[in-house]
Amino acid sequence: MPKMLIKSGRIIDPSTGADGIGDILIEDGQIAEIGDSLNYNVDNVIDAKGLVVAPGLIDLHVHLREPGFTHKEDIKSGCEAAAAGGVTTVVAMPNTSPAIDSKEVICLVKNIAKTAKVKVLPVAAITQGLNGNVITDFEALKEAGAIAFSDDGYPVSTAKIMSDAMKKADFLGMPILAHCEDLTITDGGIMNEGEFATILGVKGVPTASENVGTAREIAIAMSTGTAVHICHVSTAQSVEMIKDAKKKGVRITAETCPHYFALDDSSLLKGDADYRMSPPLRSQADRIAIIAGIMDGTIDAIATDHAPHSVEEKSDFKNAPNGTIGLETSLSAGITVLVNGGYISLIKLIELMSTKPAKILGIDGGTLKIGNPADIVIFSEDEKWRVDVKKLHGKSENSVFKGIELKGKVKYTICDGKLVYRDED
């Protein structure tokens, strides 16, 4: 494997607290040395002067759509988008067709991913066919290579089934990634319940739908002593419940997404289904609460919930499927809104998008320590770019950041010591 030398970059590593100028030598796919003025005969030298060098991003929540929905995205295209966004590991959700609920489908995903640009970690379904009723064979799925369990896109139907699942996963040392929603409260709503839904004359989704789901999972974790990870937090009350649970010693972690800290439900006044997702964009007060939860550590990670759909599917505002893409904009959105907004530091952002996700999953990654895999993102913190969906690397265009100028641009992505993306602009 070729040797590589990254020269004169600002090296940021939340796992060690490092933040300073230096060089990194990559050999045999690993970080071999970090220092000043390193001088080796290598195959590739990257001049990172004026750029930030950080651990590759780990996206906890990605829908790659393969198998079954490859007109929206596939493993190859999704990983190309990930590489362009500085993401070196994607956690692939199981709502495919067939669902990732058997070792055969796990093996299929892993085999396809062997030629992808970045690492793909498949999440197995909690219940067979994502039907919420019958628990899958957790032991067999773990043995086949599942990294976690989730029915994301659908809530597990009963507290009894979720409790059993959390106990099984905890015994195996595996995370449960919980989609918190009460479908009887959602009741066919398509956007946040409030003044903008009223203006548009469409049915809204009360915040109670998410809050009731969050409360249930917290209660189970508290009662059983098991761990749970809460996906895509979007409401102020969910943030408060998670914060309180952590104070009480509940083994709980949580993620949110860039669209929840960057936008609110006023964006839907455009009547554009690209701004529809589940859970929906919430109120400005909820958005502020999400940022506060990021700042005080209640929210542990930032993931994208990358959910591609075709232009045709998104053309009908009222009937379109939920979801927005985000692999190529997540880092920039974090820099633009959170870092430049003065809410958190750049090293904190990298921790939320790389170091903490690695800890939640229990994997090697999120670090630039010597001997670890050379998964690295190199980016300009200051470069501005306007999101042109026609130039993105995935198959779909349903981005909430389309046409928006963001700050922070990925220049290089390295995965296992291989250069998998270089910004040609």
Percent of the chain surpassing pLDDT 90: 99
Average pLDDT score, the chain: 98
Locate the domains of the chain by residue range: 4-52+374-422, 55-361
Whether 55-361 and 4-52+374-422 are alike in CATH topology: the answer is no
Query: Looking at residue 2, what is its pLDDT?
Result: 83
Query: Looking at residue 187, what is its pLDDT?
Result: 98
The catalytic residue among 305, 316, 364, 423 is: 305
CATH of 4-52+374-422, one of 2.30.40.10, 3.40.190.10, 1.10.10.10, 2.10.10.90: 2.30.40.10
Catalytic residue status for 244: no
pTM: 0.98
Quick one: pLDDT band at residue 1, thresholds 50, 70, 90? confident
- Residue range 265-293, pLDDT digits in tens: 999 999 999 999 999 999 999 999 999 99
- Residue range 73-123, pLDDT digits in tens: 999 999 999 999 999 999 999 999 999 999 999 999 999 999 999 999 999
Query: Looking at residue 227, what is its pLDDT?
Result: 98
Query: Looking at residue 422, what is its pLDDT?
Result: 98
Average pLDDT over residues 389-413: 98
Helix axes 236-247, 207-224, angle to 10 degrees: 10
CATH superfamily name and code, 55-361: Metal-dependent hydrolases (3.20.20.140)
Cα distance between residue 163 and residue 176, in whole Å: 11
